[in-house]
Structure formats: structure tokens, C-alpha cells
Amino acid sequence: MLSTAPAMLSTAAAVAPSWAARGRVALVTGITGQDGSYLAELLLNKGYIVHGIIRRSSSFNTHRVHALTTRMPSRLLLHYGDLSDGTALLQIVAAVRPDEVYNLAAQSHVMTSFETSEYTGDVDGLGVLRLLNAIRSVGLTNHTRFYQASTSELFGRVREAPQSETTPFYPRSPYGVAKQYAYWIVVNYREAYVMHA
């Protein structure tokens, strides 16, 4: 079981070492998912300090990163947060001051997105905007590299196979539409603010 001691699980308290004295620092949303846990392991093996954002929930769902937190407790730190909470994201980004942000968090179930369309749009679409704004607000626009996970659901109604960079988007679910918003807001912020995104 993962320790919930303040050093292991934070609400963005002072957990990051000084800017000059640290190695590369990554912030991973969706760290307890399959892709997030594999990414965390890869980054840790490359010598990164990894911070992950996990949602508060009734079940403590950290089984995918448990071995990593046990093996490297000083280099893998978890923070409570949610893409629907801009204040928490701002506090975490300010405390961590990441070199890289990997946004893998999402409500990613296509059929569920029809039942929870507003929540899906809030987390998968506006959550990306909140994360980008947190990076800007902390003054890391020219420093932090941002990766936004995407999906083939952007294409939805497939008109050509295989898809390429020129294939038009045609999302067919609230999930696909929210991810399309995420795609375009990242493009917009990259162009408007010269972010590495």
C-alpha cells in the first residue's frame, strides 16, 4: 500500500528542490493509468524526478505505481488534484515547476462520454486549458514542454485509412469533440504564446 505521508502524497506543499539543484522534473497527469505508469517508469529510469497528479476518490487506485513509489520514494511524488480544479493545478505547477508536463488524464470511455458529456468536456477539453493556463500563470511558458495525449476518436467517422496529418477531423462522440478542443487549444497556445506544446 502506498504511504499517504506528506512526503509521498502532497497537495502541492513545498516538495520540489531548488530550481538549480535538481535534475529534470516531469509532471504526469493520469499517472495511475496504464500509459501514465509506464511513462513514469521510463522517466524514472532516465533519472527524472517525477510528480504525478491523482484524483481523490473513494478507492486509493495507485496499484500501477506502487512498486515505483516503493523503489524510488524520493523521486516519485504524488499530488492530489484534478483537471477540473484550476486552483489545484496552479498550486501543483507552482510547487513542482516542471521541465515537462505530460497530460494523459482523461475521461476516456467513448460510450460513457454520452452519459457524462458535460463532465467529459470539462475534464478532457477545459482541463487542458486549465493546465496550459497554470503553466503560463507560473511564468513557465518558455521553459516547460507540454505533451497532450490524443486519440483516433478525433477522426471518428473514418473517411480514409490510414489517417494522416491531413485527414480531416470528424469526431462522433462527446469524448472525441472534447479531445478535438484539447488539440486545438494546444495549437492555439503554442502559436499565441510560443509554448513548446
Among this protein's residues, is 175 annotated catalytic? yes
What residue spans of the chain are helical by DSSP H? 34-45, 66-71, 86-96, 110-115, 117-120, 127-137, 174-193
Among this protein's residues, is 153 annotated catalytic? yes
Catalytic residue among 175, 181, 183, 191: 175
C-alpha to C-alpha distance for 143 and 177, rounded to whole angstroms = 29
Cell of 49: 524526478
C-alpha to C-alpha distance for 72 and 70, rounded to whole angstroms = 6
Among this protein's residues, is 183 annotated catalytic? no
C-alpha to C-alpha distance for 112 and 110, rounded to whole angstroms = 5
Cell of 191: 502559436
CB-based contacts of 185: which residues, under 8 Å, 6+ apart? 125, 128, 129, 132
Catalytic residue among 153, 165, 170, 193: 153
Backbone angles phi, psi at 100, to 5 degrees: -140, 140
Catalytic residue among 41, 151, 183, 189: 151
Catalytically active residues are 151, 153, 175
